[in-house]
Chain A
Amino acid sequence: MIREFGLIDVMYLIAAARWTIALTAVAFAGSAVLGLALAILRILPIAPLRWFSATYIQLVQGTPLLVWLFLIFFGLPLAGISVNPWIAAAVAFSVYGSAFLGEIWRGALTSIARTQWEAGASLGLSLAEQLRYVIIPQSIRIAIPPTVGFLVQLIKNTSLAAVIGFVELTREGQLTAAGTYKPFAVYITVACIYFAMCFPLTQWSRSLERKLDVAR
């Protein structure tokens, strides 16, 4: 049965975008926790930890996100953990995103001058205190623009969760296209909704970057 592609379908697509946003939020939270750990491990003066973090980042950045989605979707049940698409997608995106955030944040942390660490040490701060009170507060300002840029990547990449049956904007688009047989109109609408979510963030990231340049 073929029905028309009408306003109601557009409303459904917009409604499905909330799952894109929800998955992005969960994935960002997971990526942030893992990514911060990776970034800090990468700058500690303990070689094995640095190697571990560097290898993890290289490994994840050298494989497609689709592979991670399928590995986790099929792999977790083998370990006796039953998964639904939500859990699989959340874990896969956290693994994937943490490698990119880890690399971005490492760059921000290492951009702080060596002398800042030394100043902290000469005040009697421990390594953890130097990080907590001297290095991290200064690097946050530098880290924000590329982090917002990463958020755009994340929103776009959640579209791949459709392949393991996670119903978000792209999957809803596929279902609507199959039902209405108007793929062009449907996917243009889907693209517009993604654009409406991503473009403001892109602009925001850019203006943050400009402000940072002026401040320097």
Chain B
Amino acid sequence: MSAGLTAMKYGLQFRDVFAAWESILDGVWITLLLSLAAMVGGLLIGVLCAAGRTYGPAWLRRIIGAYVEIIRNTPLIVQLFLIFFGLPSFGLRLDGLTAAMIALVINLGAYTTEIVRAGLEAVPKAQVEAGHSLGLSGLQVFRYIVVFPALKAMFPALASQFVLLMLATSVASQISVQDLFHAASIVQSRTFRDFEVYTVIGVLYLALAIGFRGLFALIYRLVFVR
């Protein structure tokens, strides 16, 4: 930016940004879709992998352990690029939205595996043994003794991980998924109101985050607080 421009007085102006509310709303839907799909898929993977890592044979435990470490020690954006730009080298061409969903599910799955595993381990061993000594089968012990307290123990960590994930879906804009963050760049190129656009988008993300936090708190109270 030249010196003349920076010296000019700049007045914030939101009108043009609000006029583009339809593009922004479309972005909100995609962001919600991505988040919900990733939460469901990620939780599923997390539960399966945590079960495999806690109860499975040694080779399975090692594979799941490697998956968790590889995902948790590399950036999401690189995982996304690898799937979106890298897989076509093997003839597997995915559209942006599918690639983003796969990357987010794989990514979140690694984090939920750790959280669910910690939840399962939080159930005291003595309670499990008590169940067995009452003659319950392994599945019955899991169903009647382990699941509920484990879910309760893991819920807060899971909820905050889900909110972090919702915010992280913004990275999908970098492979041209038309989410909320992508909507910002469209409106920006149309109105040249960079700062105003990103302020509005930031507020919308904040509202989504607060909404999700409230929803999770409500679920927790309904299900776990007696």
Question: How far apart are the CA atoms of A170 and B87 in the complex, in Å?
Answer: 18
- A202 on the interface (CB 8 Å rule)? yes
In the complex, whether B194 has a CB less than 8 A from a CB of chain A is: yes
**A194 surroundings in chain B (CB, below 8 A):** 73-75, 78
- Shortest CB-to-CB span from B176 to chain A, Å, is 13
Bound CA span A65–B171, Å? 9
Stretch at the interface among B122-130, B146-154, B195-203, B215-223: B195-203
Cα distance A187–B70 in the bound complex, in angstroms = 14
B171 touches A187 (CB 8 A): no
The answer to whether B170 touches A202 (Cβ under 8 A) is no
Mostly, the A contact residues are helix
Residues B201 and A67 in contact, CB atoms below 8 Å apart: yes
Inter-chain contact A59/B206, CB cutoff 8 Å: yes
Question: Count the A-B residue pairs with Cβ separation under 8 angstroms: how many?
Answer: 113
B10 near A159: Cβ-Cβ < 8 Å = no
A71, B195: Cβ atoms closer than 8 Å: yes
The reply to whether A78 and B195 form a contact with Cβ atoms under 8 Å apart is yes
User: Does B155 count as interface, using CB distance less than 8 angstroms?
Assistant: no
A203: shortest Cβ distance to chain B, in Å?
9
**Taking the nearest CB of chain B, how far is it from the CB of A104, in angstroms?**
13
Establish whether residues A67 and B81, one from each chain, have CB atoms under 8 Å apart when the complex forms: no
Contact of A156 among B76, B81, B87, B88 (CB under 8 A): B76
Chain B hits for A109, CB < 8 A: none
> Do B6 and A77 touch (CB < 8 A)?
yes
A183 within 8 A of B: yes
Shortest 8 CB-CB distances between A and B: which pairs? A184-B86, A74-B194, A62-B209, A183-B85, A198-B73, A159-B75, A64-B170, A156-B75
Q: Interface on B for A, CB 8 Å cutoff?
A: 1, 6-7, 10, 69-70, 72-79, 81-82, 85-90, 163, 167-168, 170-171, 173-174, 181, 184, 194-195, 198-199, 201-202, 205-206, 209-210
